[in-house]
Amino acid sequence: MPADADVLIEEQRVSAKVHQLRRDSGVLGPVCMYALHKIYPRKGGATQGMRDSASRGSPLLFDVAVESLSLNVNHGEVFGLLGHNGAGKSTTMGILSGEVAPTGGHAWLNNKTAQNAALKTRVGYCRQEGGLQEQLTCREHLFFGARVRGIREADIPARVEALLQVLDMAKYGDVRVKHCSGGTQRKVSVAMALLASPPTLLLDEPSSGMDPFARRLLWRTVRARQKHQQREGTGDGAGSQGATVISTHSMSEAESLCDRVGIMVGGRLRCLGTIQQLKRKYAHGFSVHLRTRNQSECVAAVKTFIVSVFHTPGEAPERKGGAGQGTASLGDQDQVVRLVEEYGGQLRFWVPAGLVRLSSFFRSMEGAREGLHIEEYSISPPSLEQVFLILKPLRFTAQPFYKIRFHPTSPLLLPASPVSAEWNAILFV
Mean of the pLDDT values across residues 15-35? 81
CB 397 within 8 A of CB 1: yes
pTM: 0.75
* 278-296 residue pLDDT tens: 888 877 788 888 998 877 7
The pLDDT confidence band at residue 80, using thresholds 50, 70 and 90, is: very high
Quote the mean pLDDT of the chain.
Answer: 77
| % of the chain with per-residue pLDDT over 90 | 23
Residue 331 has pLDDT above 80, yes or no: no
- b/e burial code for range 320-359 (CB count within 10 A of at least 16 → b): eeeeebbebbbbbeebebeeeeeeebebebbbbbbbbeee
Question: For the segment 29-72, what is each residue's pLDDT rounded down to a tens digit?
Answer: 899 999 999 988 876 544 444 445 445 555 557 788 999 999 99
Between CA 195 and CA 118 the distance in angstroms is 17
Question: Which domains does the chain carry?
Answer: 5-122+198-281+400-404 (3.40.50.300), 284-314+327-381 (3.30.70.260)
3-class secondary structure, 31: strand
Residue-level pLDDT at 324: 34
**Distance between CA atoms of 156 and 387, rounded to whole angstroms?**
44
Residues contacting residue 115 through CB under 8 Å, at least 6 positions apart: 98, 101
Query: How is 258-276 classified by DSSP, letter by letter?
Result: -SEEEEEETTEEEEEE-HH
Q: Which residues pair with 273 in a beta bridge?
A: 261
Do 8 and 64 form a contact (C-beta atoms < 8 A)?
A: no
- As a whole number of angstroms, the distance between CA 118 and CA 200 comes to 13
Residue 349: pLDDT band with limits 50, 70, 90: confident
Q: Alpha carbon 98 to chain centroid distance? A: 19
Q: Which residues contact 164 (CB under 8 A, 6 or more apart)?
A: 138, 139, 142, 170, 173, 191
Q: Which residues sit opposite 271 in a β-bridge? A: 263
